[in-house]
């Protein structure tokens, strides 16, 4: 036991020979560099064209991880005697310990690297993960921060990409499809209703004019289901847009004397 203990302590430099000031400086410098780099990338993203604006922010976690790894490998030789045997012994022990203690964290960390590379979501995307819907605010090494329509910030671990379906409404574009639903009594002039709802969509101040506008109609046992499908100028106006379509659509339909009905909940996915 004593021999093993002596061999273990021989892995490290003598305590008095370890430059803790230098170690602290490396750590402080790494976090300062991360802070400055993050601010620069975000500032640059606001000045470049839209396509590049969506590409730059997802690169922040990669730069952050690179800086932290460089800092780690700069600190290790200051604490451990730089021999192959010592590095194998230390990294083997640390890797085994951390692997058991932080397996979920490392799973999310690896998934985060995959997410940055494959880009299933990026800042500005509107995603749905396990019934959580919202706009991606930022990507961390471990999780993605999503702002829901209720103004709630939700941290979702990247590891969700291993076993959950992720829906992305705009996938890097600045806008996405919005839908306003209307459930009507079937006794009406469908052509007149469809034309009126189309006019409602085309006169909305939120409408993206160069994207398609459609009014889809389907007949159900309980009535007629109309759906206005259109794109807002900015995806962040989704709820203002659908509210505008709904309010003015109901007013327009009231002028036609059309009655609304209540659709069974099971049919809302149609």
Walk across the sheet containing 214-220 and list its strands: 178-184, 223-230, 214-220
What value does the CA radius of gyration of the chain take, rounded to a whole number of Å?
28
The mean per-residue pLDDT over the stretch 224-234 comes to: 94
Alpha carbon distance 123, 132 (integer Å): 16
When mean pLDDT is compared across 20-29, 42-51, 135-144, 222-231, the lowest value belongs to: 42-51
**Confidence band (pLDDT; 50, 70, 90) for 270?**
very low
**According to the model, what pLDDT value does residue 117 have?**
77
Percent of the chain whose pLDDT exceeds 90: 29
Nearest-5° Cα angle at 139, 138 to 144: 90
When mean pLDDT is compared across 5-19, 112-126, 175-189, the lowest value belongs to: 5-19
**According to the model, what pLDDT value does residue 123 have?**
82
Alpha carbon distance 33, 52 (integer Å): 22
pLDDT greater than 60 at residue 101: no
**Confidence band (pLDDT; 50, 70, 90) for 2?**
very low
Alpha carbon distance 72, 27 (integer Å): 8
Global pTM value:
0.61
Q: Which residue has the higher pLDDT, 55 or 43?
A: 43
Q: DSSP labels for the chain?
A: -HHHHHHHHTTBPPGGG--HHHHHHHHHHHHHHHHHHHHHHHHHHTTS-HHHHHHSGGGHHHHHHHHHHHHHHHHHHHHB---HHHHHHHHHHHHHHHHHHTHHHHHHHHHHHHHHHH-S--TT-EEEETTEEEEEEEE-SSEEEEE-TTS-EEEEETTHHHHS-EEESSTTSS---EEEEEEE-S-S-HHHHHHHHHHHHHT-TTB-TTS--EEEEEEETTEEEEEEEE-BSSGGGHHHHHHHHHHHHHHHHHHTTPPB-PPPGGGTT-
**According to the model, what pLDDT value does residue 262 have?**
82
**What is the Cα 130 distance to its own chain's centre?**
13
């Amino acid at each position: 036991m004593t021999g093993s203990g002596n061999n273990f302590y021989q892995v490290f430099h003598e305590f008095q020979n370890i430059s803790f000031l230098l170690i602290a400086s490396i750590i402080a410098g790494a976090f300062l560099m991360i802070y400055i780099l993050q601010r620069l990338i975000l500032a640059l993203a606001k000045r470049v064209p839209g396509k590049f604006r969506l590409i730059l922010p997802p690169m922040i976690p990669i730069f952050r991880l690179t800086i932290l790894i460089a800092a780690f490998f700069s600190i290790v030789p200051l604490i451990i005697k730089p021999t192959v045997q010592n590095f194998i012994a230390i990294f083997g022990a640390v890797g085994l310990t951390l692997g058991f203690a932080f397996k979920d964290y490392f799973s999310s960390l690896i998934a985060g690297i995959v997410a940055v590379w494959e880009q299933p979501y990026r800042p500005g995307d509107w995603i749905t993960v396990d019934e959580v819907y919202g706009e991606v605010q930022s990507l961390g090494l471990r999780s993605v921060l999503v702002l829901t329509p209720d103004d709630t910030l939700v941290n979702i671990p990247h590891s969700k990409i291993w076993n959950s379906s992720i829906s992305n409404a705009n996938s890097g574009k600045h806008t996405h499809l919005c839908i306003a639903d209307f459930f009507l009594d079937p006794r009406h002039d469908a052509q007149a209703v469809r034309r009126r709802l189309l006019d409602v969509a085309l006169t909305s101040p939120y409408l993206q004019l160069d994207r398609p506008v459609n009014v889809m109609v389907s007949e159900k046992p309980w009535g007629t289901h109309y759906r206005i499908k259109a794109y807002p100028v900015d995806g962040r106006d989704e709820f203002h847009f659908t509210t505008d379509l709904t309010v003015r659509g109901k007013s327009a339909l009231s002028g036609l004397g059309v009655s609304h009905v209540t659709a069974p909940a099971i049919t809302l996915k149609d």
